[in-house]
């Protein structure tokens, strides 16, 4: 019994160590993408009733009151297409979509995808496919758009966010804030 717990704890530690290294790369990739931004929209997407699918919304909540005035936070919920007009009125130079994505990673692992990669990785809980939403936003705004996809663990109806994802939410929010701060400082 004790050996199993030790093994489980060691495996968890290794996974979190790997995620820390990946998160450092994520910050660098976000910084590179954000270069020259004037207005940024961070668009959280997800279904709060389907476990980890709510992670995009939770990351936005973690970012509230921590981002500069050049950043707007928009909750897209399960119908992100309803917010295309609102995003267009902001006239962002950059749009960061945040959603759960099935890409075969470890629960909580985050990865950046271009619009061209979105159809193959996102979860289909939205009325219109996310790549179409992204294309419409780009068409209306001319903004640079990427998806920050996070590998979910649990997508069961009526269940809360899993602890692995809960741990990642704060870490990913901190990475986004750090990337924005570093770009703003030049």
pLDDT at 125: 61
pLDDT tens-digit readout, 158-182: 878 999 999 999 999 999 999 999 9
- pTM, two decimal places: 0.85
Per-residue b/e over 28-54, b at no fewer than 16 CB within 10 Å? ebbbebbeebebbbbbbbbbeebbbbb
DSSP letters along the chain, please? -HHHHHHHHHHHHHHHHHHHHHHHHHHHHHHHHHTT-S-EEEEEE--TTSGGGGHHHHHHHHHTTTS-TTEEEEEEET-GGGGHHHHHHH--SEEEEEEEB-SS--TT-EEEEEGGGGGGTB-S-SSS-HHHHHHHHHHHH--EEEEEEE--S---TT----HHHHHHHHHHHHHHHHHHHHHHH-
Structural domain for 157, as ranges: 2-185
Beta bridge partners of 77: 45
pLDDT tens-digit readout, 29-71: 999 999 999 999 999 999 999 999 999 999 999 999 999 999 9
Band of pLDDT at residue 186, cut at 50, 70 and 90: confident
Residue 55 maps to which CATH number?
3.40.50.1450
CA distance 110 to 91: 27
Band of pLDDT at residue 131, cut at 50, 70 and 90: confident
CA distance 161 to 55: 7
pLDDT tens-digit readout, 89-100: 999 999 999 999
Domain tally for the chain? 1
Q: Which residue has the higher pLDDT, 124 or 18?
A: 124
């Amino acid at each position: 019994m004790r050996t199993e717990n030790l093994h489980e704890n060691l495996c968890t530690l290794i996974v979190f160590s790997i995620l820390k290294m990946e998160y450092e790369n994520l910050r660098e990739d976000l910084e590179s993408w954000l270069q020259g931004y004037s207005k940024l929209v961070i668009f959280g997407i997800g279904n709060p009733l389907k476990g980890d699918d709510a992670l995009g919304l939770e990351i936005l909540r973690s970012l509230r009151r921590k981002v500069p005035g050049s950043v707007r936070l928009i909750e897209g919920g399960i119908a992100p297409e309803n917010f295309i007009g609102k995003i267009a009125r902001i006239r962002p130079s950059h749009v960061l979509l945040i959603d759960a994505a099935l890409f075969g990673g470890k629960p909580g692992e985050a990865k950046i995808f271009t619009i061209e990669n979105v159809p193959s990785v996102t979860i289909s809980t939205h009325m219109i496919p996310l790549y179409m939403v992204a294309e419409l936003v780009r068409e209306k705004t001319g903004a640079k758009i990427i998806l920050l996809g996070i590998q979910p663990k649990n997508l069961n109806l009526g269940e809360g966010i899993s602890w692995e994802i809960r741990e990642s939410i704060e870490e990913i929010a901190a990475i986004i804030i750090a990337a924005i701060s570093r770009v703003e400082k030049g």
